[in-house]
Amino acid sequence: MGLRAVLALEARRFGTSLASPCAPLPADGDSPADLIIDLTSRTARHDAPVMTLTFCDQKDFPAGLAAMVANGGKAELAVSIDGSVVARGRPMVQDRLWLTRASDNLLAGAISLIMRAVATRFTSSSGLSRGSATAEEQSDDRPDEPHVVDSRDILGFDPRTSNDGGGHGISKNAFALSYPRFLARGIAERATQKLKRRPFYWQVAYRRIDGPGIAETGRLDGPEFTLLPDDGERFYADPFVFEQDGRVYLFVEEFPYGKGRGIISASELREDGTFGTPQPVLEEPHHLSYPQVFARDGEIYMIPESAAARELVLYRATQFPHRWVRDTVLLSDIEINDATLFEADGTFWLIGTQRFGYGSASDTMVAYSAPALRGPWLPHALNPLAVDHSATRPGGAFIRQDGGLLLPVQDGSQTYGGGLGLMRLERLDHADVSFSPPRPILPGPAWNRKGIHTLNRAGGVEVVDSCD
């Protein structure tokens, strides 16, 4: 069965997708253009710079999707202007069974990458921040030098040299040969999930520590972690630690299977160095997770993830840690995930991932800033900052180390929650964003699990979580 036939067959079940055929857009005649975005690679116009897109090194989407299938579901995108690559990305393909849904992830990532490339080209502050000519110097007829906006700029590494593969080249029969294996693997993964009593299961662990921790050693070594037990009717995830008046509190996402959504629960560290069963402290009609708790101006606040409600809300404690009220809606009508707060030079920043359309919730980094905690919050001029499945979604609060800031980021190159890395923040201002290469957190005897998904530390307590 060919690719188009598979997509047509799946469309009967899922309906219209980004990969569905549509009528061609009407031509815009010979109107002047600052930039031509050509998704067919067949434009005859050359009176303006031409932007093109490749999927897994293929010039058209069907061939690129076939290359992705041949590569086990891993995708690479590249945006070029007049033949020179100006942006690269690696979207997260979450559904490796249905090609229609995989196409949505891939095409949504492509849209975000094009947005990023266009923003970089037409945002003069970005060009100046990267050492290009001043606006006056660029006013002549000389063409701009293309600048590659990829993981080497935003995330500090080159996706083409990573070891998780890339779709390079596609033979005529590659799809026919690769699709059965792709489909069989997807069916096997779904069958395995259904055989499990729970579709997913997270565990939180903690330890007392005074010396170097995971952020310093880069591995799960040192004192052994203690598992936070559950009763089998729920899981705990996204642990954050907060110290107040010499007392240490653990905040977690609690996911009771009977509710089908997350709530925020908390527990206080006891004299024997253990945490008791977390008790619910915040619940909404929608899913809550990632409870980042912090103090500011004599008050205690929390910014949990509430992407399911398409908003980001600042909560304030009225009776810490048990009672919270909605203080301010920071962002609305967007689906932002694991937004992580820090303040620098009088500016408040939020770094997270944002779902655009049919895209993944875990591969597109964005930044928002505000002059005060309650706002107004504005998007960074270069949003979306990067499209990458292994180094964009935060996995814990910023860590201060050696005069700098480290951001824990999730590695979803193999699966969601598959690992965690640490990226040093090199620059974040209104003109530019830059992180160092992510340093993977290596396994070790302190927590014998496949990977970790969150890392936080406060009050002499370090916490992690992982998926079983």
Dmax (CA) of the chain: 76
Q: Is the pLDDT of residue 158 over 80?
A: no
| Ranges assigned E (strand) in 245-335 | 247-256, 263-268, 279-282, 289-296, 299-305, 311-319, 323-332
Q: What is the rounded distance in angstroms from the CA atom of residue 409 to the CA atom of residue 352?
A: 10
Per-residue pLDDT averaged across 427-436, rounded?
Answer: 91
Query: Do 246 and 362 share a domain, yes or no?
Result: yes
Higher pLDDT, 179 or 5: 5
> What is the DSSP-derived secondary structure letter of residue 42?
-
Looking at residue 139, its pLDDT comes to 33
Looking at the fold, whether 181 and 219 belong to one and the same domain comes out as no
pLDDT tens per residue across span 393-402: 999 999 999 9
Segment 402-416, tens digit of pLDDT: 999 999 999 988 777
The burial of 214, by beta-carbon neighbours within 10 Å (0-12 exposed, 13-18 middle, 19 or more buried), is given as buried
- Alpha-carbon distance of 53 to 37, in angstroms, equals 9
Q: Distance between CA 233 and CA 225 in Å, rounded?
A: 22
Give the pLDDT confidence score for residue 99 in this predicted structure. 85
Last-in-domain residue among 174, 192, 210 = 192
Q: Quick one: pLDDT band at residue 370, thresholds 50, 70, 90?
A: very high
The answer to whether residues 148 and 247 belong to one domain is no
Contact 452, 440 (CB under 8 A): no
Q: Cis omega before residue 384 (within 30°)? A: yes
Q: Residue 141 sits in which domain range?
A: 3-192
Token pair belonging to 118: 């266009």
Is residue 130 within 8 Å of residue 145, measured between CB atoms? no
Question: For 103-124, what is each residue's pLDDT tens digit?
Answer: 899 999 999 999 999 998 888 4
DSSP element (H, E) containing 104: helix 99-122
Q: What is the pTM of this model?
A: 0.86
pLDDT band at 418; cut points 50, 70, 90? confident
Q: What is the pLDDT of residue 196?
A: 58
Percentage, residues of the chain above pLDDT 70: 85
Strand locations in 174-223, DSSP E?
202-208
Using pLDDT thresholds of 50, 70 and 90, give the confidence band for residue 194. low
On whether the CB atoms of residues 427 and 212 are closer than 8 A, the answer is: no
Token pair for residue 56? 């897994």
Residues 177 and 206 occupy one common structural domain: no
328 by Cβ neighbours in 10 Å (0-12 / 13-18 / 19+) ranks as: middle
Q: Give the mean model confidence (pLDDT) for residues 366-378.
A: 98
**What residues contact 439, with CB distance under 8 A and at least 6 apart?**
218, 421, 422, 423
Alpha-carbon distance of 262 to 267, in angstroms, equals 16
The H or E element spanning position 229 is none
Better-predicted residue by pLDDT, 234 or 128: 234
Q: What is the pLDDT of residue 26?
A: 74
The 10s digit of each residue's pLDDT in 214-255 is: 999 999 999 999 999 999 999 999 999 999 999 999 999 999
- Of 46-50, 155-159, 317-321, 361-365, give the lowest mean pLDDT range: 155-159
pLDDT digits (tens, 9 = 90+) for 73-106: 788 999 999 999 999 999 998 877 788 888 899 9
178 and 231 co-located in one domain: no
CA atoms within 13 A on the CB side of 406: 24
Residues 146 and 256 in one domain: no
Q: Does position 451 have pLDDT exceeding 70, yes or no? A: yes
Peptide bond into 321 cis (omega under 30): yes
In this prediction, residue 148 carries a pLDDT of 39
**Domain stops at, among 192, 214, 230:** 192
Q: Are residues 140 and 231 in the same domain?
A: no
Number of domains in the chain: 2
226 and 353 share one domain: yes
The answer to whether residues 327 and 430 belong to one domain is yes
Residues 6+ apart with CB under 8 A from 26: none
User: What pLDDT does residue 135 have?
Assistant: 28
Q: What are the tokens at 268?
A: 């206080």
User: SS3 letters for 114-169?
Assistant: HHHHHHHHHCHHHHHHCCCCCCCHHHCCCCCCCCCECHHHHCCCCHHHCCCCCCCC
Token pair of 432 as six digits: 């530019």
Q: Which of 45-49, 131-135, 165-169, 277-281 has the highest mean pLDDT?
A: 277-281
**CA torsion through residues 55, 130, 154, 369, sign:** negative
User: Which pLDDT score, from 0 to 100, does residue 324 have?
Assistant: 99
| Residues 246 and 332 occupy one common structural domain | yes
φ/ψ of 77, rounded to 5, equals -125, 150
The predicted-structure confidence for 282-316, as pLDDT tens digits, reads as follows 999 999 999 999 999 999 999 999 999 999 999 99
377: its two tokens: 């919050």
Q: Are 235 and 217 in contact (CB under 8 A)?
A: no
Last residue in a domain, options 192, 215, 235: 192
Neighbouring C-alpha atoms within 13 Å toward the C-beta of 205: 21
- 188 and 215 co-located in one domain: no
* CATH number for position 432: 2.115.10.20
Q: What pLDDT score was predicted for residue 199?
A: 60
Instruction: State which of 58-72, 179-193, 253-267, 417-431 shows the largest mean pLDDT.
Output: 253-267
3-state helix, strand, coil in the chain (%, to 5): 20, 35, 45
**How confident is the model at residue 193, as a pLDDT?**
62
Residue 12 sits in the same domain as residue 113:
yes
Cα separation, 67 vs 168, whole angstroms: 7
Whole-number Å distance between alpha carbons of 44 and 51: 13
pLDDT at 454 (0 to 100): 98
pLDDT averaged over every residue in the chain: 85
With a CB cutoff of 8 Å and minimum separation 6, the contacts of 233 are: 256, 257, 258
